[in-house]
Amino acid sequence: MLFLVRMDVNIPHDLPDAQAADIKAREKAYAQALQNDGRWRHLWRVVGEYANYSVFDVGSNDELHTLLSGLPLFPYMKIHVTPLAQHPSAIA
């Protein structure tokens, strides 16, 4: 099952720099592990925003929820999920 996910990051200004850096490092490792196992298919920066569009390929809504809620940045993100279906005109 494919899902388009937009993540908008909003780290509070009063979060200590070292703590923010640690969260970002853990986020990167988490994201790269999921890209390596094929479940995080695309990760694109939104130009000019601290946000990304991602495509996930997972087995269920519950799996996606578990995966997203495990993101180290989860407490600091607004996440919008769009489930994707086949388009009848798509050639691939």
Ligand X SMILES: O=C(O)CC1=CCC(=O)O1
Q: Rule CB under 6 A: which residues touch ligand X?
A: 7, 9, 27-28, 31, 52, 73
Is the CB of 26 or the CB of 83 nearer to ligand X? 26
CB nearer to ligand X: pick between 9 and 81: 9
Measured from the CB of residue 29, what is the shortest distance to ligand X in angstroms? 8
Long-range contacts of 70-73, Cβ-Cβ distance < 8 Å, separation of 24 or more = 70/30, 71/7, 71/27, 71/30, 71/31, 72/23, 72/24, 72/26, 72/27, 72/30, 73/7, 73/9, 73/11, 73/23, 73/24, 73/27
CB of 33 to ligand X, least distance (A): 11
Least distance to ligand X, CB of residue 9, Å:
5
